Chain A
């Protein structure tokens, strides 16, 4: 008889990654069917309800309570699982009695590391703006990873930052590279003379990876958060970041990446870009196709601003502009016979993405080849999946969307969700081609191919057993300096039978051509098993960052502290707890009494 047991710990706070790791560990215990470990907010209660884990006592718990729910085969197994919670939590850190002091507040952390110029914030959204205000008050720039921050708070924070000469990246900013140090989910890339401003996390990653692959390097890559270029926010951070790059003598070329902004904001940004006096490569993804075409055709010398169509093209052009070689990169020597990917007419493409911007770019590029591609995050006016959990026809699904990630680890960190979907797709006779992105770098899963490759072989075998051919295309977004090892990832995926690409645009064009017309030769080719890169580095006068004066305070996810340490940056982790134990009334009073 299945039993659901809950344990409530009032006023306990842990970061969400810790909780989700515990949740997975509990669910893996013998006899345990499902587990939930969450702070008891209304949203999380809804999640628990969907999983059938909402007991009356959990229903009655407060937002600042930690709840641990287990559903198991019987009461004994449930109790055994709950009894292991503390041990599982303790495993995450050695508890030597001689630990250095962990500051509880930003103020005291700032005193411990006065040279820190940045504060990384990844606490729950309802507390994030308060922490960001404190950081600005201390004169620090802010990397605001947290989401669920109101637009009003975002605008106020950004304007405050501008008034103080500071930058607020985010909210919902997943990645940036500052002074050679990756923040959040970032790839290890060469330093160089190209600056990036991006309103998209995977967009920033793909462009910086492309620049590195082409032998170029990065001065700064600033994230803005997805809402920055909206009319309401008015691109405050993008403008400030552009101004920093314009003023930076090391930066010789600027790349601007965003989903399509509103025309007014776009015009303002482009006018600022023109004033920078530096060449600016713009990828307003899918926004200015006509102009992009014109930009491609234009005489490069005359134009300060050049539009491109893909993230990889942005990287190509930026590197070309940044080196003495001012000719545009051509893809003429890269050919890929897409007949290898040909599928039957009754079969469809199933793209399972972890990176939102890559999924978006895939939908855009596929427009040239396929009339209808369903998605849970469709292009404007495009067909939306009736149910994100079930593919229809050709499908590109973004597994990083909220419907998949609320209460779970992001698919870049945890392959579980994607592997389950992969098996489901493989079992579907309609599936002819599987498409995956594999994003590497700090913050991402430490060895995604080790989990994805076996799943890919199994998927291919499943299809073969049913007398079907299943092709698998994997796009690896990463560099040879990333902790996962680009070569090792490519080798594992190739050995599993996947066609591996390192350029996203090439992969999509190959897939598109195969689906549209069977055999046809397109620009691009897959990676060979030995990981030979698709273009040779054009310049080698830059080095990978090793030691760095960059220093930051981290409030929230401890993995960010580990990442900064491994990059040689100075960092102090704040042992943060919700102010006033999360009591709204007291928080309100304190805010007024701090003003």
Chain B
């Protein structure tokens, strides 16, 4: 074992041993480190307003309207371009957000704590389907839903989460993988477990039965309601593996709708970015590839932590997104073992005789084999506010791994 192998073994051990527990729900301004009143967080690597894609711009506008900082798109744009409000990646603040991932100061965020190593991670609330902020919609309909979620649902949810005494998301995911989820595109089972766990506490914490029913229904109708705490859990696990001197483990993969970016455990906070690709997948009726935005969102944190497309073998129900048969789903997971350094102890796949999921992407293996990580993803319309138009498979551009490898060799004198 050479020094890189040793460093990677330490890093992946930390990723696997991290035990993320959902401990609460708080206001972004109060709980996210470095958050301030004039800051918006977004998915992916750093980006300017000028280079931002349609869905991200729409989400920024929507968030500023939600915050009461702007009443329309032009005012919102002026706030950003003047520098009055700044943009920073969620990833710079221990946070992650699906699709546009825009998180503003007064939004409610899940608080996930890694009980093994003590680090925390955060993610916003999931709005469900249809016209939603994370796809860049910012109409009054979207605003009304956001206001209800924050005024009515968030306080009850916060009390319910506290009342659970902490929900072990790693255990929840492990169970869901045995129920046909892969943790990224398919979160049906995990969302039901999540809702089931919270329901009695929501019933107790809600001011009245109608409110309780509305909240439980909002969670229950949304097969992705658990995605945000799952992403925060994956972030907590990935962060535990970040910053290990001499490690080539990839600890961040994220997209902002324009660029795909990665970070590497042993290369501190440096991003390696290149143009994100358009996912290859199935489109909802009425949409086609020309309508698609480039790949967007922090949800690739799931693959980074060893689930999502890496656990595809566990989710044969969604193989149509990767164009094939259950055997293809198994082969998808088998391929990811080629570029990872370990098999997960907590996440196992029944279809592979309970083999642990492939975890810990080794930069060297990616460059050597030419196999880039697989990512399962939703596909956003390129125009703000249209929403999700499909789902499919995408891979990061190879060049960013090669660039990172060269940087690693320079940094460590290889």
Contact = CB atoms under 8 A, between A and B. Distances in A.
A383 B322 CA distance: 64
A486 to B, nearest CB: 42
A186 B325 CA distance: 39
B405 A104 contact: no
B317 interface: no
B409 A593 contact: yes
B324 A97 contact: yes
B163 interface: no
A589 B368 contact: no
B409 A98 contact: no
Contacts of A577: 369-370
Nearest to A582: B370
Given A104-B338, A592-B414, A579 B368 contact: yes
Nearest to B408: A593
A595 interface: yes
Interface string A87-115: 00000000001111101110110010000
A595 B2 contact: yes
A445 to B, nearest CB: 34
A580 B370 CA distance: 6
A105 B369 contact: yes
B330 interface: yes
Interface string A566-595: 000000000001011101001001101111
Nearest to B2: A595
Nearest to A109: B338
Contacts of B409: 589, 592-593
B335 A589 contact: no
Interface string B218-247: 000000000000000000000000000000
B335 A101 contact: yes
Contacts of A100: 327
12 contacts: A97-B328, A101-B334, A103-B338, A104-B371, A108-B337, A577-B370, A579-B369, A586-B405, A590-B364, A593-B4, A593-B409, A595-B2
A586 B402 contact: yes
A98 B325 contact: yes
Given A101-B330, A581-B370, A594-B2, 16 more contacts: A97-B324, A97-B328, A100-B327, A104-B338, A105-B338, A105-B368, A579-B368, A579-B369, A580-B367, A580-B370, A589-B414, A590-B364, A590-B405, A592-B409, A593-B2, A595-B2
Contacts of B406: 586, 589
B367 A590 contact: yes
Interface residues of A, number: 23
B331 interface: yes
Interface in B375-404: 402
Interface of B: 2, 4, 248, 324-325, 327-328, 330-331, 334-335, 337-338, 364-365, 367-371, 402, 405-406, 408-409, 414
Q: Which of B248, B370, B371 has the largest count of A CB atoms less than 10 A from its CB?
A: B370
Nearest to A585: B406
A52 to B, nearest CB: 34
Given A581-B370, A590-B367, A593-B4, A101 B338 contact: no
B368 A580 contact: yes
B414 A593 contact: yes
Contacts of B331: 99, 101
Nearest to B409: A589
Contacts of B371: 104
A104 B367 CA distance: 13
Contacts of A580: 367-368, 370, 402
A101 B352 CA distance: 12
A582 to B, nearest CB: 10
Contacts of A101: 330-331, 334-335
B146 to A, nearest CB: 44
Contacts of B330: 101
Contacts of B338: 103-105, 107-108
A584 to B, nearest CB: 13
A104 B409 CA distance: 24
Contacts of B327: 97-100
Contacts of A98: 325, 327
B325 A590 contact: no
Interface in A537-591: 577, 579-581, 583, 586, 589-590
Contacts of B408: 593
Interface in A275-328: none
Contacts of A594: 2, 364
A153 to B, nearest CB: 19
A406 to B, nearest CB: 27
A108 to B, nearest CB: 5
A90 B330 CA distance: 24
A579 B368 CA distance: 5
Nearest to B363: A593
A98 B326 CA distance: 9
Nearest to B414: A592
A540 B33 CA distance: 83
A41 B408 CA distance: 30
Nearest to A589: B409
A425 B387 CA distance: 75
Given A577-B370, A579-B368, A580-B367, A104 B335 contact: yes
B123 to A, nearest CB: 33
A592 B144 CA distance: 58
Nearest to A11: B370
A108 B369 CA distance: 12
A586 B398 CA distance: 13
Ranked nearest first, the 3 interchain pairs of A and B with the lowest CB-CB distance are: A101-B334, A592-B414, A101-B331
B256 to A, nearest CB: 27
Contacts of B365: 105
Q: Which of B335, B371, B408 has the largest count of A CB atoms less than 10 A from its CB?
A: B335
Interface in A65-105: 97-101, 103-105
A98 B324 CA distance: 9
A590 B370 CA distance: 13
Contacts of A99: 327, 331
A406 B248 CA distance: 40
A579 B4 CA distance: 19
A577 B4 CA distance: 24
B164 to A, nearest CB: 40
Contacts of A589: 405-406, 409, 414
A129 to B, nearest CB: 15
B128 to A, nearest CB: 35
Nearest to B406: A589
A106 to B, nearest CB: 10
A15 to B, nearest CB: 16
Interface string A396-413: 000000000000000000
Contacts of B328: 97
A385 to B, nearest CB: 44
A586 B401 CA distance: 11
Contacts of A103: 334, 338
A590 B335 contact: no
Interface in A158-192: none
A101 B336 CA distance: 12
A136 to B, nearest CB: 16
A223 to B, nearest CB: 29
Contacts of A579: 368-369
A579 B369 CA distance: 6
Nearest to B324: A97
Nearest to A580: B367
B398 to A, nearest CB: 8
Interface in A388-437: none
B42 to A, nearest CB: 32
Contacts of B2: 593-595
Interface in A450-477: none
B325 A97 contact: yes
A595 B334 CA distance: 26
B407 to A, nearest CB: 11
B54 to A, nearest CB: 32
Contact of B367 (A97, A586, A592, A595): A586
Contacts of B368: 105, 579-580, 590
